[in-house]
Structure 1
Amino acid sequence: MTVLDWLADPANWSGSGGIPAQVGYHLLYTGIALVIASAVAIPLGVVIGYTGRGEVLVAGSANALRALPTLGLLILLFLLLAPVIAGQLVFAVPTIIVLVLLAVPPILTGTYTGIQSADGAAVDAATGMGYTRAQVLWKVQLPCALPLLLSGIRGATLQVVSTATVAAYLGLQGLGRYIIDGRAQADFAQMAGGALVVAGLALALELLFVLLGRTVVSPGLRRTSRRRRPAPAETVTSMIRTVPATR
């Protein structure tokens, strides 16, 4: 059986073990990990970008997490948590922790870098219009940071989607099942088919983030991110218009 035969087999597209169901499990792990990672990394990134403090310590420690071996960490967490957690959670919790640790660094980096990279002319103009420091942060710096923030979340999403296959090592469902089961059965068509589905899912999410960026990021910021250089007055005006002053 070839990879195309495996993908075209209707039996692989139905039932609890079919591709749609496994994609659902895969997206569930990914979504939970991204929500938790965003809840941790975005506020922390805002604090670092706003105050300029803790960047070396916090961001450096977060980036060091990328060097951890994912599979080894997964097994270690399972062994540590198995005596204290019962039921299916003993398999799900280590998986989510590993994926969260993988997602935090790009989101954190994108958040504080975006805030620190906000156009100084726009910040000065907002301050001159009577904005408080908090208003400058929420109405100028954060909107200006949106392209880099979304880029960080997009990078985290792609990393988590490609790595969530490790859930199958602990017996969980997901697209990793095709790779693990295919290897156990010497079914290379199943292994390659599962890998292609993961790649297709990552590509679909990438396109989704491209569309999201075009929807939520203002055209002026998109032009800036593409390294076009509008006149300074035009840059300041476009940024301030997106965040009218509070009276």
Structure 2
Amino acid sequence: MSIVSDAVAYIVDGANWSGGTGIGTRLLEHAWYSLVAVLISAVIAVPLGLAIGHLRRGEVVVVGLVNSLRSLPTLGVLTFAVLALGLGLVPPILALVLLGIPPILAGTYAGVANAPATVVDAARAMGMRERQVLFRVEVPVALPLILGGLRNATLQVIATATVAAFVNLGGLGRYIFDGLALYSYERVVVGAILVAVLALVADGLWALAVWASQPGTGRLRRTPRV
């Protein structure tokens, strides 16, 4: 228990939060790496999932791509990217993007593809164009699953973004890698605790977004003024 107590004492000590290598800076670095990776993953995966789910074609592509990307070892991808591209921010972001694409793609495709056929057919019968059917009918119904995919991707990326420290970048992984190198295991626990806390905060925010997006609840509507 001494290692855990030492780690907690390190975290609650305000002196360890300031400076270029303080906890505050490491948290911001970790959050920034994760945010960039999730945004790039979403830009790639969401349009692809919308198109495949709406057209009901290419399901084999989704299954194959998701399974193949999930099978890639993140540290192996990072090592290969460093050898190919050199040190810097690009290799870890690339590795994290490949990790974030599968859950977003799967959630987006599943949400759109499973929109009630009767509702979709009714929209077409009303004269809606395919783009209108997609964005005014299928996407609102699929929104909880789309956000759920983003939620899963965010948690996976935050948990794995510690690999950025493997190529001499910042983030909370610095505590883990530096602690292992110096046999300072309380630092390893500090990194693990902070990553867990950051993941829980992000998960809570996404859970709130998923709750608010449930179709038919009107939670996203503004209260009309009297």
Task: State the TM-score, normalized to the length of structure 1.
Answer: 0.82
1:166 aligns with 2:163: yes
1:124 aligns with 2:121: yes
Question: In structure 2, how many angstroms separate the alpha carbons of the residues matched to 1:15 and 1:56?
Answer: 50
Q: CA deviation at 1:92?
A: 0.8
* 1:34 aligned residue (35, 38, 41): 38
8 Å CA contact 1:59–1:108 kept in 2: the answer is: no
- What one-letter code is carried by the residue in structure 2 that aligns with 1:15? G
Aligned to 2:203: 206
Secondary structure of residue in 2 paired with 1:118: coil
8 Å CA contact 2:141–2:215 kept in 1: the answer is: no
Question: What's the RMSD between the two structures over aligned residues?
Answer: 1.8
Unaligned 5+ residue runs, structure 2?
A: 222-226
Question: In structure 2, how many angstroms separate the alpha carbons of the residues matched to 1:45 and 1:63?
Answer: 15
- Worse-matched range after superposition: 140-149 or 68-77: 68-77
1:71 aligns with 2:75: yes
- What one-letter code is carried by the residue in structure 1 that aligns with 2:68? A
8 Å CA contact 2:108–2:145 kept in 1: the answer is: yes
Equivalent pairs, count? 216
8 Å CA contact 1:44–1:108 kept in 2: the answer is: yes
1:145 aligns with 2:145: no
Q: CA deviation at 1:10?
A: 2.3
Aligned to 1:178: 175
Q: CA deviation at 1:129?
A: 2.4
Question: In structure 2, how many angstroms separate the alpha carbons of the residues matched to 1:103 and 1:13?
Answer: 29
Aligned to 1:228: none
User: Could you tell me the percent identity over the aligned residues?
Assistant: 46
8 Å CA contact 2:144–2:213 kept in 1: the answer is: no
- Worse-matched range after superposition: 51-60 or 17-26: 51-60
Q: CA deviation at 1:3?
A: 1.8
Aligned to 2:96: 99
